């Protein structure tokens, strides 16, 4: 039966589960946080991960619907693979993590864990044997033209929403890369400052031993000039770093409000301090972004 679905029908199922997933997630997180929370990567009322997961599970498990054990295993494996691929893609493309299972036992890279995979198996059983039939009947009872208009309108909205979200995510990624570059440059300037001080100490010692006051004064003057230049560059980089942090807090704060498990990735030494600052801002605003 499933292989006789038209593309429009598959798209309708996808959008239905995207919207259903958003309703479920947003309601759960809103009740947990005690304030309205718009979940997900996008602004609109849809979570593509739920739609993709539902379609994948249906595609993989419906041929085995006569054997619940196979539905469970295939559904759990398929959803786990999708969860891992999505998590890894987010980290590699955007340098952010939208969920993190690192604190769970039997997890891998924080993207997947055993308890989540077990839950996916049970959800696959629920979808195949209880949920999808009413959804299918609901879609089929609608007039074809109505379904076509709705799917077209939702497609336009999702494409527009995704393009904006993608741009903002890439902006945040660019900020993280810039922050890493600033940190690397600060380390270079700090090392340069240490070399200047060490060299000045050697010259001063040599001047004292040779009793050449003029040489010692020139070394001292040169040291002061170099230190002033290096410290000026360090101050400029630190100011630039602080401005960048403020921009990152504003951008990342919106994502954190929607995704409690959201985290930044990167090799920035003060990344933990940045995370804490984002959480403090969220705490003051009650998560309303």
Look at residue 219 in the predicted model and tell me its pLDDT: 61
Q: Which residue, 124, 118, 116, 133, is CA-closest to 75? A: 124
Look at residue 260 in the predicted model and tell me its pLDDT: 56
Look at residue 70 in the predicted model and tell me its pLDDT: 94
Tens of pLDDT along the chain (289 residues)?
445 678 888 899 999 999 998 898 888 878 877 777 777 778 888 888 889 999 999 888 878 888 999 999 999 999 999 999 998 988 888 877 878 888 888 999 889 999 999 999 999 999 999 999 999 999 888 888 888 899 999 999 999 998 988 888 888 788 777 777 777 787 787 887 777 677 766 666 665 555 555 555 666 667 677 777 777 877 877 777 777 777 776 666 666 555 555 566 665 555 566 666 655 655 544 444 4
**pTM: predicted TM-score of the whole model, two decimal places:** 0.70
Question: Is 94 within 8 Å of 172 (Cβ atoms)?
Answer: yes
How many whole angstroms separate alpha carbon 134 and alpha carbon 168?
A: 37
Q: Identify the residue whose tokens are 């076509």.
A: 148
Q: Which residue, 86, 76, 136, 94, is CA-closest to 111? A: 86
How many whole angstroms separate alpha carbon 19 and alpha carbon 21?
A: 5
How many whole angstroms separate alpha carbon 108 and alpha carbon 233?
A: 42
> Number of C-alpha atoms within 13 angstroms, CB side, residue 41?
24
How many whole angstroms separate alpha carbon 95 and alpha carbon 248?
A: 13
For residue 288, the SS3 value is: coil
Cβ count within 10 A of residue 114: 14
Question: Is 125 within 8 Å of 71 (Cβ atoms)?
Answer: yes
């Amino acid at each position: 039966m499933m292989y006789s679905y038209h593309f429009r029908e598959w798209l309708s199922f996808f959008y239905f589960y995207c919207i259903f997933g958003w309703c479920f997630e947003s309601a759960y997180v809103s009740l947990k946080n005690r304030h309205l929370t718009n979940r997900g990567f996008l602004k609109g009322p849809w979570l593509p991960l739920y739609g993709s997961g539902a379609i994948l599970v249906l595609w993989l498990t419906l041929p085995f619907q006569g054997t619940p054990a196979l539905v469970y295993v295939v559904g759990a494996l398929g959803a786990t693979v999708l969860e891992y691929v999505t998590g890894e893609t987010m980290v590699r493309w955007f340098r952010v993590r939208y969920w993190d299972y690192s604190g769970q036992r039997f997890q891998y890279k924080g993207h997947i864990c055993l308890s989540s995979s077990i839950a996916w198996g049970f959800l696959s059983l629920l979808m195949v044997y209880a949920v999808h039939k009413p959804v299918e009947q609901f879609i089929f009872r609608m007039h074809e033209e109505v379904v076509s208009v709705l799917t077209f309108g939702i497609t336009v909205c999702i494409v527009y929403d995704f393009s904006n979200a993608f741009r903002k995510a890439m902006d945040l990624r660019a900020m993280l890369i810039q922050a890493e570059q600033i940190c690397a440059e600060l380390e270079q300037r700090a090392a340069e400052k240490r070399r200047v001080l060490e060299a000045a100490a050697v010259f001063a010692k040599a001047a004292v031993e040779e009793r050449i006051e003029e040489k010692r004064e020139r070394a001292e003057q040169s040291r002061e000039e170099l230190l002033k230049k290096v410290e000026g560059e360090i101050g400029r980089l630190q100011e630039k770093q602080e401005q960048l942090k403020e921009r990152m807090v504003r951008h990342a704060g919106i994502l954190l409000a929607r995704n409690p498990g959201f985290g930044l990735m990167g090799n920035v030494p003060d990344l933990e301090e940045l995370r804490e600052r984002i959480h403090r801002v969220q705490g003051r605003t009650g998560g309303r972004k």
